[in-house]
Amino acid sequence: METMNMEGTPALHGYYMPAEWEPHSQCWIGWPERPDNWRDNAVPAQQVFAKVASAISKFEHVTVCASAAQWANARSQLPENIRVIEMSLNDSWFRDTGPTFVIGISASSSSTPEPKVAGIDWNFNSWGGIDDGCYRDWSHDLLVARKILAVEKLPRFPHSMILEGGSIHVDGEGTCLTTEECLLNKNRNPDLTKEQIEDQLKAYLGVRKVIWLPRGLYGDDDTNGHIDNMCCFGKPGVVLLSWTDDEKDPQYERAVEAFSVLSNTTDANGRKLEIIKLHVPGPLYMTDEEASGIFQEDCEAKPRLPGTRLAASYVNFYIANGAIIAPQFGDLKWDDEAVRVLSQAFPNHEVVRIEGAREIVLAGGNIHCITQQQPHIPQSIVHKLVGDKLKLLQFMATLNCTLQEEQLNKYQMGCTFSGLNALYDAVNGGGDVWINETRFKIVRQLGEGGFAYVFLVKEVVSDSSASGGGGLAKKFKDPSHVSDDGTYAMKKVLIQNSEQLELVKEEIRVSSLFSHPNLLPLLDHAIISVKPTQEASWNHEAYLLFPVHLDGTLLDNAKTMKTKKEFFSTSDVLQIFRQICAGLKHMHSFDPPYAHNDIKPGNVLITHRKGQPPLAILMDFGSARPARRQICSRSEALQLQEWASEHCSAPFRAPELWDCPSHADIDERTDIWSLGCTLYAILYGVSPFEYALGESGGSLQLAIVNVQIKWPAGPKPPYPDALHQFITWMLQPQAAVRPRIDDIIIHVDKLISKFSQ
């Protein structure tokens, strides 16, 4: 099995390296085993690797590569939805030994545009060669990139320059981050100048500008200062920087140095960079016990010594399709702070904590270092890139693509993925989707998260149904659901396995149960089988149709109001909250009652109405389940906590879902806790416990369990104390004394009567 070697550079063939937040087809991970780098025969590390792989597999496909001796062990520790293949390895740092994937679009005049993916196979010398590397024999690792490309049958761009994937980070729009400490180190490419290395990065990654930070993270001696421990892009124009406020910490000098460089430069498109500080943990050091577990007699690897400063950084995370897989080091203050910062930096991604990530950093890296994303361009976009060549060329010019008309026929396009989206929408006016017998034109994307995308769509009315107000009008039981202009919101779910298929079916079933003016109705749905390529296996896609509310969610409105220093009036607060309660009462009134399980501002749609309070609609029933559950053992309690960690947003999660007793009766009053947090957020634009932690950080779980509530400055005159007392009433730590939804509605009606005067 061999792959096709390409001549010339990727940029010449129209390839470029996409940003890590662009869509992935899968993630590649190696399996650790060498006892002279991983303690206790790599058993603790393997457990954490399995956690990482399992977490990512909930959002995208994962392939784990293990040696022949470890294949059965890896297979036994990993979920069935993860592919495990046999591959000889020296160690398991796939960010550095795997290929750097690049993408493009074929656009010759004689064929329909198709996505194309290839890989760059850099030279590798174990981060420094015989004298300075991490281990002496890297012959197996030198072949990892070639083998991965052969498995995937992808073109290979071989390069003699020594470079590891962790030493570069791109924004997908022409800018690359790296460090002088690493790429200019004499143990890498001593015969190349800085200018020559930069030229190679531009030719192979398809970038136009390289930003050089002087040094990487303090303590990152194994890699000589890889960028992925120090700084990364969060989106175009935004970077996250490993920071410390401790001026005595050697990392402080490096952080200030990097901050100065980043503050005084622009990206390839002339934007000033927004810098988000992400505080490092600790500092952390290797213990005697940890070092003693590493086999270091006559070993082939760099010694691991007790007291060594660990290169621990929260910047070293993995961006999955709709998720951030974040390391946690056991430093409660900075672990929670990192999750808070990452949640704000990636509002459309779920932040998934990986406890025990210290095991990876003991060997010199972390989550980003052990993973390698393989990008994917959705076929639906590619198939629409046809038509007027003049328009294509005009838009290519606006998107900073440099190919001329004759080159378009000879080579391929090298636009960024976000650019392709714009090109697709502008030239073709969006795509068409069928939900059962009704056709819709995609107008634009409204949002995304996990495996799901939300689009604004418009019904395409046939001549035969035009006189009747559209084909959908005949299907809806409630005529108020018919859109006057034919526009709706469509949720598209990419289904990767049978477990996800069952979850989508359950969401459809539960959504179909409810019928209430303050609950978002599911208007129509379809699940179809898809096969992206001839070689691929069959998967499914689900299309869910809803009414559209273009004013966004309470969360969207809170962000806008915060920038304007605006607040809802007391009357509007109560009217919005009353509507949420009305929708929730409908769910709680079922037999058995249903709990929503994820009430938060991001799941409340708002429509502003002239002369009236805003309309509030509770949405997203993907976490809704029968509310009442009896817990009879510690195992059941832990299962509930694990389920809640995946389905209930942390800042709004009830205490009993954080720390469930071994014997407990769980009921719908978990939603009442979330209601109290949501009312607080309507008032002040932030959840109570995120505000309580503030800039000082701390443990979110402890703040919730201990009910640490602080009241920020609000509007002038301030909100009445009665609202604060109302919130406190709902935020009872003991669920048994928490009010029920009927009690809440009675009380809010009294407040409306009192404050509407």
Cα 339 to chain centroid distance, Å, stands at 12
The reply to whether 475 sits in an annotated binding site is yes
**What DSSP assignment string belongs to 152-164?**
HT--EEEEEEE--
The pLDDT of residue 506: 92
Partners of residue 318 on adjacent β-strands: 325
C-alpha distances in angstroms, 407 versus 18, 204, 418, 516, 571? 22, 18, 22, 57, 62
* Angle 328-332-336 from CA coordinates, rounded to 5°: 70
Q: Token pair of 72, please?
A: 């059965």
Q: What is the pLDDT of residues 22-32, one digit of tens each?
A: 999 999 999 99
Parallel/antiparallel/unpaired status of strands 24-30 and 371-375: antiparallel
The pLDDT of residue 83: 97
C-alpha distances in angstroms, 529 versus 58, 60, 222, 440, 622? 20, 18, 47, 18, 21
H-helix segments, 685-740: 688-693, 700-705, 721-730
CA-nearest of 525, 544, 522, 526 to 478 is 522
Which of the residues in the chain have pLDDT under 50?
A: 108-110, 380-381, 383-430, 464-469
CB 348 within 8 A of CB 312: no
The two counts, helices (H) then strands (E), for the chain are 27, 28
Catalytic residue among 27, 369, 415, 648: 369
The pLDDT of residue 565: 86
Which DSSP symbol is given to 718? P
Q: Which amino acid is at 512?
A: S
The pLDDT of residue 572: 93
The pLDDT of residue 480: 76
Q: Token pair of 371, please?
A: 């993973």
CB 668 within 8 A of CB 635: no
Q: In the chain, what are the domains?
A: 14-287+310-375 (3.75.10.10), 378-428 (no CATH), 431-548 (3.30.200.20), 554-755 (1.10.510.10)
Q: Which residue has the tokens 């993925």?
A: 417
The pLDDT of residue 407: 36
694: left (phi over 0), alpha (psi -120 to 50) or beta: left
Q: Which amino acid is at 551?
A: D
CB 624 within 8 A of CB 596: yes
H-helix segments, 535-624: 554-564, 570-588
Max Cα–Cα distance, the chain, nearest Å: 85
Q: Token pair of 218, please?
A: 């303090």
* Helix or strand run (H / E) with residue 544: strand 539-546
**Exposed e or buried b per residue across 698-709, where buried means at least 16 C-beta atoms within 10 angstroms of its C-beta:** bbbbebbeeeeb
* Helix or strand run (H / E) with residue 325: strand 323-327
* Helix or strand run (H / E) with residue 677: helix 669-684
Catalytic site includes residue 27: no
Query: Which residues touch 182 (CB under 8 Å, ≥6 apart)?
Result: 167, 188, 216, 223, 224, 225, 226, 227
The pLDDT of residue 415: 34
The pLDDT of residue 695: 56
